Amino acid sequence: MDYFFGLLFGPKGWAGNLASGALITISLALATLPFGLALGLAVALAKRSGSVILRGLATVYATVFRGVPELLTLYIVYFGLQLGLQRGWKMLGFSSNLDMPAFVAGMIALGLVLAAFSSEVWVGALNAIPKGQREGAQALGLTKGMTFRLVVLPQLVRLALPGLGNNWMVLLKETSLISVIALPDLMFWTGRANVVTKEPFFFFGVACMIYLVFSLISSAGIDMLERRVGRGFVSGSGGQR
Amino acid sequence: MTWCEWPGVLIGNEAITNYGCRMFGGLALTLQLVTVSIVLGALLGVGLALTRLFGGTIAAGAANAFMTFFRGTPLICQLFLVYYGAGQFRTSLEAVNLWWFFREAWYCAAFTFTLNTAAYQGEIYRGAIQAVTRGQWEAARALGLRWSQILRTVVAPQALMVALRPLGNEVVIMIKSSAVASLVTLFDLMGTTRLAFARSFDLSVYLFAALLYLVMVEAVRRLWDVAERRLTRHLVRS
């Protein structure tokens, strides 16, 4: 027991590194969230728009990013942007190398995937808002933008929350893939600790437990949020999902 | 020239021509891993669902803990835990004659994927069984059917229809997540693609792999639509 305690908190313990990795994992997930959700909403609106081209593009986007493994998306974004960036950098006349920050690559890749999955949730929520709400807003003389902002959006959040909560849980776990492009996240430091100490079962077990705690906290937080945004609604027969 | 070189030749890409055969070989390994883990995971998942619904407090709690762990942690972490962790227990595993199993990356990956998908599938089956109304149980009991008969002949067919759609999603997720197998030395589609990229440094191999994954996922989706239409053909559709 003392031995394992020392592995984490001893003079050469790994607790500090794991904590810094966990912080990166959380920051990456939190940084990806607004970007992915906003893009997802945009894709959802495109899917419901009157333009055939926009609808087609949105559908293709969602199909592609929901069908390709996240790991592959990550590689394509990381190496693709890297190559593109370097080509552009050279064209601007610089001779030095410009590296794609792994954090940004991860954020973009995970955000693109999150957008594809959350767009489905947004579409479902948009469809669940009764037509009368929009018609009522129109009758009151609100513009299209105002209708969306003042009438649709507040209701949308409540309707989309269960699905978006799900998206968040998936995202949180997907951040673990980022270690393959050498971002020092939780998985990265766990791998390091394993190489140095030769205690893989212990360290990967600890990492799994940390992820599990994040998941449990998230799911409790989402429950709380759902209760809060739904507090104006009677949750009677069968709940309100 | 073999068939697996054709796609590369057709679009005139050297890297895809050179590594096409390896990549299709990787595709076969991916399909193999996914099929094995989905089928074994289904068996285990049904067991988990039944334990959670009908088992005693301790058994149901254990099943719940198992499912919470596998659904709450990343697959890559579970895979590393099994693959690297097993090496640490080599002597004990050898003593119980299980080392041959955990020595192979393929078995480790199939094992981890099976447990992972069992947890997710268990949740699907549990929800599907719960979606069958009580009246069905009561009516079956009134007809004098035994518990196992009710489950098999009355509940299971109805639950399966509810479970079908989320099950299709789970297959798709499994196809995609199986790409992490490449991180434990396996040459599945992702693994062979990584190799091709490391040697050719041509990004189009990644795009070709993305296309292959897309085709797999789309095929599953189509297949599921057909299956669903067939299984629910007796229901009135709006």
What is the complex's ipTM, to 2 decimals?
A: 0.91
Average pLDDT value over all residues in chain A: 89
Interface check for B185 against chain A (CB to CB < 8 A): the answer is no
Please state, for a pLDDT cut of 70, what percent of chain A lies above it.
Answer: 95
Q: Indicate if the alpha-carbon torsion angle A143, A149, A150, A155 is positive or negative.
A: positive
Residue B146 has pLDDT above 90, yes or no: yes
CB contact under 8 A, B73 and A212: yes
pLDDT confidence bin for B238, thresholds 50/70/90: low
Residue A20 has pLDDT above 50, yes or no: yes
Q: Measure the CA–CA gap between A175 and B176, rounded to whole angstroms.
A: 15
Q: Return the number of CB contacts < 8 Å for A and B.
A: 109
Backbone angles phi, psi at A86, to 5 degrees: -70, -40
CB contact under 8 A, B176 and A68: yes
Quote the tokens at residue A241. Answer: 């999902």
Residue B187: name the closest of B77, B30, B4 by CA. B30
Residue B48 has pLDDT above 60, yes or no: yes
In this prediction, residues A75-81 reach a mean pLDDT of 90
User: Which residue out of A72, A112, A176, A185 would a mutagenesis test of the B interface target, given it has the greatest number of B Cβ atoms within 10 Å?
Assistant: A72
In this predicted structure, what is the pLDDT of residue A237?
A: 46
Least confident of A141-155, B73-87, B131-145: A141-155
**pLDDT tens for residues B52-102?**
999 999 999 999 999 999 999 999 999 999 999 998 898 999 999 999 999
Give, rounded to a whole angstrom, the gap between the first and last alpha carbons of chain B: 52
Q: Measure the CA–CA gap between A157 and A229, rounded to whole angstroms.
A: 8
In this prediction, residues A162-175 reach a mean pLDDT of 94
Residue B2 has pLDDT above 60, yes or no: yes
Residues B63, B54 contacting (CB under 8 angstroms) = no
In this predicted structure, what is the pLDDT of residue B131?
A: 93
Which of A131-145, A221-235, B179-193 has the largest mean confidence?
B179-193
Which of A2-16, A91-105, B79-93 has the largest mean confidence?
B79-93
Tell me how far CA of residue A227 lies from CA of A122, A175, A223, A232, A241, in angstroms: 19, 27, 6, 9, 12
Please state, for a pLDDT cut of 90, what percent of chain B lies above it.
Answer: 82
Residue A204 has pLDDT above 60, yes or no: yes
Residue A76: name the closest of B225, B122, B205, B37 by CA. B205
Residue A236, min C-alpha distance to chain B (Å): 18
Q: Measure the CA–CA gap between B157 and B169, rounded to whole angstroms.
A: 19
pLDDT confidence bin for A239, thresholds 50/70/90: very low
Task: Write b or e for each residue in A156-173: b if 16 or more Cβ atoms lie within 10 A of its Cβ, otherwise e.
Answer: bebbbbbbbbebbbbbbb
In this predicted structure, what is the pLDDT of residue A241?
A: 44
Concatenated DSSP letters for A16-48?
HHHHHHHHHHHHHHHHHHHHHHHHHHHHHHHHT
**pLDDT tens for residues A34-67?**
999 999 999 999 999 889 999 999 999 999 999 9
pTM of the model: 0.91
Query: Dihedral through CA A181, CA A185, CA A187, CA A191, nearest 10?
Result: 80
Please state, for a pLDDT cut of 70, what percent of chain B lies above it.
Answer: 99
In this predicted structure, what is the pLDDT of residue A8?
A: 84
Which chain A residues are within 8 Å of B205, Cβ to Cβ? Answer: none
Residue B232, min C-alpha distance to chain A (Å): 23
Quote the tokens at residue B89. Answer: 């227990």
Question: In chain B, which residue's Cα lies nearest the Cα of A190?
Answer: B77
Residue B213: name the closest of A71, A144, A110 by CA. A71
Residue B207: name the closest of B1, B9, B5, B13 by CA. B13
In this prediction, residues B182-204 reach a mean pLDDT of 93
In this prediction, residues A132-148 reach a mean pLDDT of 91
Least confident of A98-102, A166-170, B101-105: A98-102
Q: Measure the CA–CA gap between B136 and A26, rounded to whole angstroms.
A: 46
Residue B114 has pLDDT above 80, yes or no: yes
Question: In chain A, which residue's Cα lies nearest the Cα of B81?
Answer: A204
Residues B73, B153 contacting (CB under 8 angstroms) = no
By CB atoms closer than 10 A (0-12, 13-18, 19+), residue A54 is middle
